[in-house]
Amino acid sequence: MHPAYERDPFATSLETRILSCGEEKGRPFAILEDTVFYPEGGGQPCDLGTVNGVAVVEVQKHEGGIRHYLEAAVPAGPAALKLDWARRFDHMQQHTGQHLLTAVAQDRFQWETTAFHLGASVCDIELSAPAISLRDMAQLEEAVASEIRAHREVSARWVSPEAYGQEAVRSRGLPEGHAGDIRLVQIAGVDLNTCGGTHLRHTGEIEALKLLGTESIRGGTRLFYVAGGRLRNRLGAHEQRNAALRALLGAPDEDLIPALQIKLDQLLALERRGRKLEEDLAEYQAAALAAQPGSLVEAHLEGRDMAYLQKLTRGILMADPAKAVFLTAGSGGQGLFLLGAGEASRLDVPAAGKAVAAILGAKGGGAGKSYQGKAPSLEARVLAMAALREMEP
């Protein structure tokens, strides 16, 4: 007997029996007499739902049977199955859409489908086309839409291996080790294919199919699409984003990209101006710090990053190579420190850097005349500074 998900893919519940139970790597599973849950395979994810009210988290074929992995263990005996219908119907829309898309791509453009993937939000097929132009993609999408409007019947049947040899089947071949009858899925007048998945009753139930784009892969082309409810959900999400962008940019849909480009150009100009101001500030601060008396210069600069500390250190040491520099910066509760020395300074920077890191509880490293690191806080900065004073030559 074929399982219920094959006999009637529109069945949403089933009364059956749990034949046996087990556990695999800490996950309980049940083997049922019959099931409405499709096990993962052929590019289609498994169904979800409940068995006696316990969530089904995964369904897989295993050694000729089907394991239903559950959120918690259940005893053998009578079982009431309830299918996550929204998930199942979405999968049927995407999978039936794939059959139609594959058939039209091959018949119209001679592009063979070499792989199929039903993703959580977007689906794709891999085609033998080296590339697909926007014009060809538009023509393919329109041809698929025409077949959806044609409301073509979708049906499934089983045939013997002998009868299979007499059928005009479009197939990438049977699974390795397959024996016995073969399941064929037919879109009337369009396609006949081997498939064990769940499908709609006619192409009209696909509702619509939208091609999203392509990417090159293994000498062919991966073509992305969404169908049915996913297309409507995607359009709704796009409309919400566009509404937010219209409010932010003060522009209608057709002017959103030019308006955003203006904002980006303005931001880029501000960033350039900010970098110039930062360079001027670093130059000014470096000159002021280099003029401090003594061989060790120190400063704390709130909100600055390591790049600024490095720039400032270079400026100080260029002005006075005999100086050593200890700079810190803080942001969001975290601390940064940098210890550097000029060519004429006699401070042992690696040793001093390790001592400072230990006092601050920091992670750091360096070589030669520079040592830098990150600290969880700068509460012990005064102690670190005192230790450096003691280590001055």
Beta strands in 255-323 (DSSP E): 296-300
Domain ranges of the chain: 4-83, 89-236, 278-391
Secondary structure (3-state) at 122: coil
Within the chain, strands assigned E span 13-24, 27-32, 49-51, 54-62, 65-70, 77-83, 113-118, 123-127, 154-159, 182-187, 191-194, 209-217, 220-227, 296-300, 324-331, 334-341, 363-367, 370-375
pLDDT for the residue numbered 172 = 63
Predicted local confidence at residue 328, as pLDDT: 92
By C-alpha distance, which of 364, 320, 369, 308 is closest to 341? 369
What gap in Å lies between CA 37 and CA 50, rounded to an integer?
Answer: 10
Pick the CATH number of 278-391 from 3.40.50.720, 3.30.70.1450, 3.10.310.40, 3.30.160.60: 3.10.310.40
- pLDDT given at position 176: 67
Rg of the chain (C-alpha set):
33
CA distance 338 to 348: 14
Q: Which CATH architecture has domain 89-236?
A: 2-Layer Sandwich (3.30)
pLDDT at 28: 96
pLDDT for 143 equals 97
DSSP 8-state assignment for residue 383: H
CATH of 4-83, one of 1.10.3720.10, 2.40.30.130, 2.30.40.10, 3.40.605.10: 2.40.30.130
What is the three-class DSSP state of 22? strand
pLDDT at residue 67, as a whole number:
97
Q: The whole model's pTM is what?
A: 0.77
**Can you read off the two tokens belonging to residue 113?**
């489908």
Low-confidence ranges of the chain (pLDDT < 70): 172-173, 175-177, 332-333
**Helices 85-109 and 229-249 meet at what angle, rounded to 10?**
90
Backbone angles phi, psi at 155, to 5 degrees: -140, 160
Render pLDDT for 218-268 as a digit per residue (tens, 0 to 9): 889 999 999 999 999 999 999 999 999 999 999 999 999 999 999 999 999
**8-state DSSP, 60:** E
pLDDT of 316 reads 92
How high is the pLDDT of residue 77? 95
Distance in angstroms (rounded) separating the CA atoms of residues 283 and 79: 77
